[in-house]
Amino acid sequence: MLTRVAVLVSGGGTNLQAIIDFAKAGKLKDGEIVAVIASNSKAYALQRAENAGIYHTVIDRKSFPSLKGFEEALLKELERVEADLIVLAGFMTVLSADFVSRYPQRIINVHPSLIPSFCGDGFYGLKVHEAALAYGVKLTGATVHYVNEVTDGGKIIMQKAVKVHDGDTPEVLQKRVMEQAEWKILPQAVQKICKKIKENRL
């Protein structure tokens, strides 16, 4: 039985594409992407799912006055598709402790820094790279970690370092971190966790 993976997205879906390409190359041996769920109807990630023939749907965060209502709709959909593993791939909603507690060691996220640097509340997107450059670090990277009730606070699954170059802008650094780290370790981590779930080791 393959591990059933649901990918939650909010934007362009480049990390989703990395997982799709990894699966197409036959490397996602112990899992399958059964659903792509977007919190934003304009997310280009939906088109990527469509192109790959993967079931996709929208649960628009803006149409729910409360996080609770949004999470209830999300839970219903995750239960419907029988998701075993939830992958946050550029998903811009911080999930509540109540939601996360329902899927212990079953939600993973990719963060564009070497945790514990430049992470936690308020560190997302370009802000992470702006902070890294402002601090003057020579190495940054990406981290895949389990999601718990603390923002970016779950146990680390994989990390990859990326060099910071003189004259980098946040945008240039963001692209390098995606290409050299995020797009490589996220699919690998998905396979690693899928295998553990399949073998009942999680």
The Cα–Cα gap between 4 and 138 comes to: 38
CATH topology for 3-198 is Rossmann fold (3.40.50)
152 three-state secondary structure: coil
CB of 112 closer than 8 Å to CB of 127? no
Identify whether 65 is preceded by a cis peptide bond (ω within 30 of 0): no
Percent of the chain with pLDDT over 90: 96
Using the Cα atoms of residue 121, residue 125, residue 130 and residue 136 in order, give the sign of their dihedral.
Answer: positive
138's enclosing H/E stretch is: none
CB of 189 closer than 8 Å to CB of 157? yes
The catalytic residue positions are: 111
CB of 162 closer than 8 Å to CB of 182? no
Question: What separation in angstroms does the CA of 188 have from each of 147, 162, 171, 181, 194?
Answer: 17, 17, 25, 11, 10
Instruction: Convert the pLDDT of each residue in 41-62 to its tens digit.
Output: 999 999 999 999 999 999 999 9
Question: What separation in angstroms does the CA of 69 have from each of 44, 64, 92, 149?
Answer: 24, 6, 16, 18
Which tokens belong to 201? 């080791």
Which tokens belong to 15? 């990390």
Instruction: Convert the pLDDT of each residue in 4-33 to its tens digit.
Output: 999 999 999 999 999 999 999 999 999 999
Rounded to two decimals, what is the model's pTM? 0.95
The Cα–Cα gap between 17 and 33 comes to: 11
CB of 93 closer than 8 Å to CB of 107? no
7's enclosing H/E stretch is: strand 3-9
- Inter-helix orientation angle 126-135/170-177, to 10°: 110
Percent of the chain with pLDDT over 70: 100
126: Cβ contacts below 8 Å, ≥ 6 apart:
170, 171, 174
Give yes or no for residue 201 having a pLDDT over 90. no
Q: How confident is the model at residue 202 (pLDDT cuts 50, 70, 90)?
A: low
The Cα–Cα gap between 1 and 62 comes to: 36
CA 3 to chain centre: 17
